[in-house]
Amino acid sequence: MLSNAGSGEAFEGVKWILTRRAICCNSTLVSDTKAGTLIGVDRYGNKYFENMEEELPLRTRWVDYKEKEYDPSQLEPGWHAWISYMVDAPPTADKIMQTGVRSWELPEHRPNLTLSRAAFKTYSTTRPKYSAWTPVAAPR
């Protein structure tokens, strides 16, 4: 918590972070100003915050995306579990939840291509049930 400037006391407990970006950008998305402790930053530059004292239940954790046009699929699995309250410890403190420890994990994020030109489209393997008719007129 922040102490009074005139009292000469140092910060007690945790350091609070309130940025201009949190006031400008997040107020349009969340409709309130948030202040909390920076828990960690993932490899995409997203910042994860927590405020256990002053927030409502299930609103104590939030993410500040690096880009304004963010893709929610860029949350790493460990951070997704933490932000969704599935685990108590963030991936920075839990070795199992960290990215890159499993051999089957993808090295880089693959974006969601739905509604783009690169989206997967199936092709039909069934024969058409009818054929187009082209009328032929006999010469007169």
Tens place of pLDDT for every residue, the chain, 140 residues?
444 444 444 444 434 444 444 444 444 455 667 788 899 998 888 999 988 787 777 778 888 888 887 778 888 888 888 999 998 888 888 777 776 667 787 777 777 888 888 888 888 888 888 888 888 888 88
- pTM for this entry: 0.58
Contact (Cβ atoms closer than 8 angstroms) between residue 22 and residue 32? no
Domain spans of the chain?
Answer: 37-98
Give the integer Cα–Cα distance in Å for 132 and 126.
16
